Structure 1
Amino acid sequence: MSARALWASDPARSKGRLHEEQSGSERGPRDAFQRDRDRIIHSISFRRLRHKTQVFMAPDGDHFRVRLTHSLEVAQIGRTIARVLGLNEDLTEALCLAHDIGHPPFGHAGEDALKAAMAGAGGFDHNGHTLRALTAIERPYPRWDGLNLTWETLEGLAKHNGPVRHPGWALAEADAPFPLALTSWPSLEAQVAAIADDIAYDNHDIDDGLRAGLLTMAQLMEVPVVARNWAAARARFPDVADARLAGELVRGQIGYMVNDLIEETRARVLAAGVGSVDEVRAAGVALAGFSAQLREEERDLKRFMYANLYHHPHQLEAAAAAQRIVTGLFAAYRADPCAMSGEWRERLPEGEPARDRHIADFIAGMTDRYAISRFRELVGPIDLPEGF
Structure 2
Amino acid sequence: MPLAPYAADPAAGRGREFAEDRAGARGPRSEFQRDRDRVVHSIAFRRLRSKTQVFIAPDGDHYRTRLTHSLEVSQIGRVIARALGLDEDVTEALCLAHDIGHPPFGHAGEAALEAAMAERGGFDHNAHTLRTVMRLESPYCDHPGLNLSWDVLEGLAKHNGPVAAPNWALSELDAAFPLDLGAWPSLEAQVAALADDIAYDNHDIDDGLRAGFLTLDDLLELPLLADRYREVERRFPNARPEQRLRELVRSQIGAMVNDLLETTRGNIAGVKSVSEVRAHPGPLVAFSDPVANAERELKAFMYAKLYYHPEQVAAAEAARDVVSRLFAAYDQDPATMPDGWRASLPPQEPERSRHVADFIAGMTDRYAIDQCVRIFGRAPEGLRNV
The answer on whether the counterparts of 1:79 and 1:89 sit within 8 Å (CA) in structure 2 is yes
In the other structure, the counterpart of 2:213 is 214
Aligned counterparts of 2:290 and 2:23: Cα–Cα separation in 1: 49
In the other structure, the counterpart of 1:43 is 42
Aligned counterparts of 2:231 and 2:126: Cα–Cα separation in 1: 37
Aligned counterparts of 2:381 and 2:81: Cα–Cα separation in 1: 42
1:387 aligns with 2:370: no
Aligned counterparts of 2:33 and 2:181: Cα–Cα separation in 1: 24
Instruction: Give the deviation of 1:384 after TM superposition.
Output: 2.4
State which of 287, 291, 305 in structure 1 corresponds to 2:288: 291
The answer on whether the counterparts of 1:137 and 1:145 sit within 8 Å (CA) in structure 2 is yes
Aligned counterparts of 1:252 and 1:239: Cα–Cα separation in 2: 18
In the other structure, the counterpart of 2:199 is 200
Q: Which residues of 2 match residues 65-84 of structure 1 at below 5 A? A: 65-84=64-83
Aligned counterparts of 1:376 and 1:281: Cα–Cα separation in 2: 49
User: Which AA in structure 2 matches 1:182?
Assistant: L
Aligned counterparts of 1:137 and 1:7: Cα–Cα separation in 2: 33
Aligned counterparts of 1:261 and 1:174: Cα–Cα separation in 2: 32
1:257 aligns with 2:238: no
What are the ranges of 5 or more consecutive residues in structure 2 without an aligned counterpart?
none
In the other structure, the counterpart of 1:276 is 273
State which of 364, 369, 372 in structure 1 corresponds to 2:369: 372
User: Which AA in structure 1 matches 2:366?
Assistant: R
1:105 aligns with 2:104: yes
Identity of aligned residues (%): 62
Aligned counterparts of 1:301 and 1:267: Cα–Cα separation in 2: 25
Instruction: Give the deviation of 1:25 after TM superposition.
Output: 5.1
User: Which AA in structure 2 matches 1:382?
Assistant: A
In the other structure, the counterpart of 1:14 is 13
The answer on whether the counterparts of 2:311 and 2:385 sit within 8 Å (CA) in structure 1 is no
CA offsets per residue over residues 304-357 of structure 1, 9 Å max, x none?
000000000010010000000000000000011122112211111110000000
CA offsets per residue over residues 345-386 of structure 1, 9 Å max, x none?
111111000000000000000000100110111123234224
Instruction: Give the deviation of 1:387 after TM superposition.
Output: 3.1
Q: Which residues of 2 match residues 1-388 of structure 1 at below 5 A? A: 2-24=1-23, 26-270=25-269, 273-385=270-382, 386-387=384-385
Instruction: Give the deviation of 1:26 after TM superposition.
Output: 3.1
User: Which AA in structure 1 matches 2:288?
Assistant: S
- Comparing 85-94 with 241-250, greater Cα deviation is found at 241-250
Aligned counterparts of 2:251 and 2:166: Cα–Cα separation in 1: 37
The answer on whether the counterparts of 1:74 and 1:97 sit within 8 Å (CA) in structure 2 is yes
Aligned counterparts of 1:288 and 1:321: Cα–Cα separation in 2: 38
Aligned counterparts of 1:263 and 1:24: Cα–Cα separation in 2: 44
CA offsets per residue over residues 115-139 of structure 1, 9 Å max, x none?
0000011000100000000001001
The answer on whether the counterparts of 1:83 and 1:89 sit within 8 Å (CA) in structure 2 is yes
Q: Give the match's secondary structure for 2:180.
A: coil
Aligned counterparts of 2:94 and 2:262: Cα–Cα separation in 1: 22
Aligned counterparts of 2:176 and 2:120: Cα–Cα separation in 1: 21
The answer on whether the counterparts of 1:329 and 1:379 sit within 8 Å (CA) in structure 2 is no
Aligned counterparts of 1:280 and 1:255: Cα–Cα separation in 2: 26
Runs of 4+ in 1 over 4 A off after TM superposition: none
User: Which AA in structure 1 matches 2:374?
Assistant: E
The answer on whether the counterparts of 2:43 and 2:137 sit within 8 Å (CA) in structure 1 is yes
Instruction: Give the deviation of 1:248 after TM superposition.
Output: 0.3
CA offsets per residue over residues 81-131 of structure 1, 9 Å max, x none?
000000000000000000000000000000000000000110001000000
TM-score computed with the length of structure 2 as normaliser: 0.98
- Comparing 344-353 with 372-381, greater Cα deviation is found at 372-381
Aligned counterparts of 1:337 and 1:30: Cα–Cα separation in 2: 43
Aligned counterparts of 2:121 and 2:287: Cα–Cα separation in 1: 34
The answer on whether the counterparts of 2:322 and 2:380 sit within 8 Å (CA) in structure 1 is no
The answer on whether the counterparts of 2:87 and 2:188 sit within 8 Å (CA) in structure 1 is yes
The answer on whether the counterparts of 1:37 and 1:90 sit within 8 Å (CA) in structure 2 is yes
TM-score computed with the length of structure 1 as normaliser: 0.98
CA offsets per residue over residues 214-246 of structure 1, 9 Å max, x none?
000001101122112212211210222322211
The answer on whether the counterparts of 2:17 and 2:147 sit within 8 Å (CA) in structure 1 is yes
The answer on whether the counterparts of 1:332 and 1:379 sit within 8 Å (CA) in structure 2 is no
Equivalenced residue count is: 385
CA offsets per residue over residues 181-226 of structure 1, 9 Å max, x none?
0011000000000000000000000000000000000011011221
Aligned counterparts of 2:192 and 2:183: Cα–Cα separation in 1: 17
Distance 1:25 1:76, change over 3 A: farther
User: Which AA in structure 1 matches 2:132?
Assistant: A
Aligned counterparts of 1:105 and 1:183: Cα–Cα separation in 2: 30
Q: Give the match's secondary structure for 2:11.
A: helix
RMSD: 1.0
Aligned counterparts of 1:37 and 1:213: Cα–Cα separation in 2: 36
Aligned counterparts of 1:232 and 1:345: Cα–Cα separation in 2: 59
Aligned counterparts of 2:144 and 2:235: Cα–Cα separation in 1: 54
Q: Give the match's secondary structure for 1:95.
A: helix
Q: Give the match's secondary structure for 2:22.
A: coil
User: Which AA in structure 2 matches 1:220?
Assistant: L
The answer on whether the counterparts of 1:73 and 1:200 sit within 8 Å (CA) in structure 2 is yes
